[in-house]
Amino acid sequence: MDRIRIVGGAELNGRIPISGAKNAALPLMIASLLTPETLTLDNVPRLADVTLLKRILGNHGVEVTVAGKRATQDEFEGDTVKLTAGEIVDTTAPYDLVSRMRASFWVIGPLLARMGEAKVSLPGGCAIGTRPVDFFLTGLKTLGASIDIEGGYALARAPSGGLTGGRVTFPKVSVGATHVILMAASLARGETVIENAAREPEIRDLADCLVKMGARIEGAGASTIHVQGVPALHGAEHSVLPDRIETGTYAMAVAMTGGDILLEGARRGLLDAAFDVLAEAGATVTETNEGVRVARNGAGISPVTVTTAPYPGFPTDLQAQLMALASRGAGRSSITETIFENRFMHVAELARFGARISLDGDTATIEGVDRLNGAPVMATDLRASVSLVIAGLAAEGETIVNRVYHLDRGFERLEAKLSRCGATIERLTG
């Protein structure tokens, strides 16, 4: 099993290209099920989750092709992926595939809207919490679907005339449920109003793509979205927006190690809350025509107090990375996690570096220390794993990060991007 070896202590200087957002690419790929015509997606990141979703969509009959690289193309530029769901050959998403990636459950929306039926395995729990699909199923029922749970599967059926628009009000903000209802409503008869919708940039990106495909959507990015259903959608071409979580991760890495990095292609407006926290911690954040520049030269790391929240608040997906940064702060920091339960499992691993962190329910208190020491550590989930990399970059001596398959799910060529900026980092295979 692969591991990552880091020798810490070096500043990061240079340029890091930001890949396409995984959290946008996955729902965009699933949207290909809504039309028999070809959906072309540019700037698709080369990640394990993307590869798995290609297989899942292929199981439904989607033809997936990846365009070859041009001779002048940058090595870090994303793929161009063409998805053609000319004929849906199977409306079942089996357990062995859905259990490996929760986002694959989202196929229930477009399959139901286009084919009138779907049989999708319930995803079950995961390392950072249960994240139930009740909101998904209740929303689809509001559009007229009948839902039965049998043998661990959700069996969804639309009425003979197809789904019908309705008013879907989520009791709690859910990105996944908003994606699913947005896709299903695009082919429903009449108007759908989605209330308490997620406001994440990835929601807007999906809506923009659906509009290119012929959908009629207003309000994406706000808490209320209006969708006027259409009889059919057509093919389109769309470019995946830059990954704000990758952007924030590398920004925190340079804030922790010191140095000066240009995050190429990043958009500050996608991550204002996190950049405001970084500025409070002592980093300098500057938007440029090429991306976002982050630097920390000489000044120490100031303590921060942060509570995670749905967009536009501080992202839960950057909570672990911020905790690593705060472990070297000059004082006491506090991080409260409000989105997912069980998302503090990285605390024990950060402690192996010498970090001083105490937990009280959903709040972590971090007492900054003068130095961290390299250590062998174990990744527990995607975002926790990269927090260990950040800590290792700033620690003295050698760090070995185990279970790096978590990293491969969400970070494209992390070692290559960091090593070209002065980090001593390598992948150990076998």
Q: For the chain, 430 residues long, give each residue's pLDDT as a single digit of tens.
A: 899 999 999 999 999 999 999 999 999 999 999 999 999 999 999 999 999 999 999 999 999 999 876 655 677 889 999 999 999 999 999 999 898 888 999 999 999 999 999 999 998 544 434 456 899 999 999 999 999 999 999 999 999 999 999 999 999 999 999 999 999 999 999 999 999 999 999 999 999 999 999 999 999 999 999 999 999 999 999 999 999 999 999 999 999 999 999 999 999 999 999 999 999 999 999 999 999 999 998 889 999 999 999 999 999 999 999 999 999 999 999 999 999 877 898 999 999 999 999 999 999 999 999 999 999 999 888 778 899 999 999 999 999 999 898 898 889 999 999 999 999 999 999 7
Give the annotated binding-site residues for UDP-N-acetyl-alpha-D-glucosamine.
102, 172-175, 317, 339
Q: What CA dihedral angle connects 400, 406, 412 and 417, to 10 degrees?
A: -20
Q: What's the confidence (pLDDT) of residue 73?
A: 63
**Catalytic residue status for 126:** yes
Q: What's the confidence (pLDDT) of residue 383?
A: 74
Which residue in the list 64, 88, 126, 330 is annotated as catalytic?
126
Q: What's the confidence (pLDDT) of residue 50?
A: 96
All domains of the chain in start order, with CATH? 3-19+242-428 (3.65.10.10), 22-229 (3.65.10.10)
Instruction: Give the side-chain half-sphere CA count within 13 A for 242.
Output: 22
Rounded Cα–Cα distance for residues 215 and 207 (Å): 8
Rounded Cα–Cα distance for residues 368 and 236 (Å): 50
Q: What's the confidence (pLDDT) of residue 124?
A: 59
Rounded Cα–Cα distance for residues 15 and 420 (Å): 8
Give the annotated binding-site residues for phosphoenolpyruvate.
22-23
Residue type, 156: A
